[in-house]
Amino acid sequence: MNHLSFECPCGHSPLIPVKEMIERYGGETTVDAVRAKARCSSCGQKTFEFRIVYRGGSYDALIGAANTKMNGEL
């Protein structure tokens, strides 16, 4: 399952499931729009490191990786 990782300088670093963001903001929203609205729930800062991460079994990740070639072509 994909998550959005927000890593605030204050040390707060939640992982938010992408599914939750879609339910909250709609399926047509972009990652940039979600990031622009994001704010640390601990300290209120809007400056943070942002990543999209996969969280789940390594087998699932390997199967997903096997569907692409080394140079990025499908």
Q: For residue 8, what pLDDT is reported?
A: 93
pTM for the model: 0.62
- As a whole number of angstroms, the longest Cα–Cα distance in the chain is 42
Q: Is residue 72 part of a domain?
A: no
Q: For residue 65, what pLDDT is reported?
A: 62
Q: For residue 41, what pLDDT is reported?
A: 92
Find the domain containing 43 and state its range. 2-65
Number of domains the chain contains = 1
Q: Is residue 7 part of a domain?
A: yes
Instruction: Kindly report, residue by residue over 1-60, the tens digit of the pLDDT.
Output: 889 899 999 999 999 898 998 898 898 988 888 888 889 999 999 988 988 888 776 666
Q: Is residue 10 part of a domain?
A: yes
Q: For residue 47, what pLDDT is reported?
A: 83
Q: Is residue 26 part of a domain?
A: yes
Q: Is residue 70 part of a domain?
A: no
Task: From residue 24, give the alpha-carbon distance in Å to each of 20, 34, 51, 57, 59.
Answer: 6, 10, 19, 26, 29
